[in-house]
Amino acid sequence: MPTALVTGASRGLGAVFAERLARDGFDLVLVARDRIGLEHTAAAVRGNGVTAEVLVADLADPTARATVEHRLADASRPVDVLVNNAGVENGNAFIQADLRDLQKQIDTNITAVMSLTHAALRGMIARANGSVINVASFAGYLSSPGNTYASTKAWVLAFTDTMAASLPGTGVSMIALCPGRMRTGKHDAPKTPSPLWLKPAAVVDQCLRDLARGRSLCTPGVVYRTVVGALEMPRRTLRGLARLAGRGRAQRRGRAGRTHARSAADRIAA
């Protein structure tokens, strides 16, 4: 059976990812700081007839993070899908925030995403199969002043964009999930339906559909998708121009190579 590793799997969106992947037939490696929450998620997913390995780790701690990196790099137990969901949000404005808390936010939201992805990709590319899902946030596009959490999520978006561009032809895919507000219980949500408040299960479903379609960015919810679509338009245009320029360079190199080959053949014949 395929295996997925989900960080931040003790509750919220991470637990929803784990439950959905279990229904799809994935064995799970569940990572978070909260053992009780992880055991609760593990018990829930095992009801789908899959295995669930619990790995307690604070991803802001280098030693604990190295344990997860080692699990991802273990060729004898390959991981087919990595979900980088764990995240820490410091609600204080930059100047009021404790520097140690800001560093922990960076270590969890940026360093862990980079190091775990690095640990997973080599094996995935060698097997020509695998996927990485990086959970970003709509805040990465439009943040409130002094919001350092939003800055880390902007990095996740940029990281995924550049890494996904390097993967075509490898059999490996990568996508950034960019949700807005979700009804995970983390924030007070209105009781009445609102297009600004998304259901986590619907967010996960949309992400996995977009991943299967080969997309590198998923923005669930019509309001968020409309805004991000407008903000992404210049970048999509530049990417399209870069691809055209790259094909043009490849064609010129191909023509130059054929001309050189013909010239060499003519010299040999002479």
Token pair of 25 as six digits: 């037939």
Give the pLDDT score at 254.
Answer: 58
CB 149 within 8 A of CB 105: yes
3-state DSSP percent of the chain in helix, strand and coil, to 5: 55, 15, 30
Give the pLDDT score at 41.
Answer: 97
| Structure-token match 């273990």, residue found | 74
- φ, ψ for residue 218, nearest 5 deg: -125, 125
Give the pLDDT score at 256.
Answer: 56
Q: Which residues of 93-123 are buried (b: 16+ CB within 10 A; e: fewer)?
A: eeeeeeeeebebbbbbbbbbbebbbebbbeb
Give the start-to-end residue ranges of the domains of the chain: 3-220, 222-270
The Cα diameter of the chain in Å comes to 85
Segment-wise mean pLDDT, segments of 10 residues, the chain, 270 residues: 96 96 98 97 95 97 98 97 95 89 96 98 97 93 84 94 94 94 60 70 95 94 82 75 63 58 54
Give the pLDDT score at 267.
Answer: 54
Give the pLDDT score at 225.
Answer: 81
Residue 269 CA to its chain's centroid (Å): 56
- φ, ψ for residue 177, nearest 5 deg: -95, 125
Instruction: Clarify whether 141 is annotated catalytic.
Output: no
Give the pLDDT score at 143.
Answer: 75
Give the pLDDT score at 113.
Answer: 98
The dihedral sign for the CA sequence 11, 13, 17, 23: positive
| Structure-token match 């790259």, residue found | 246
Name the 3-class secondary structure at 146: coil
Give the pLDDT score at 250.
Answer: 53
- Catalytic pick among 26, 138, 149, 224: 149
| Cα 129 from Cα 122, distance rounded (Å) | 11
| Cα 210 from Cα 176, distance rounded (Å) | 10
For 79-119, where are the E strands, in sequence order?
81-84
Give the pLDDT score at 75.
Answer: 95
| Structure-token match 């890494």, residue found | 163
3-220, CATH topology level: Rossmann fold (3.40.50)
CA distances from 259 to 58, 247, 252 (A): 58, 18, 10
CA distances from 59 to 31, 56, 231 (A): 9, 9, 31
Instruction: Give the Cβ contact number of residue 47 at 10 Å.
Output: 11
Containing 134, the helix (H) or strand (E) segment is strand 130-135
Give the pLDDT score at 263.
Answer: 58
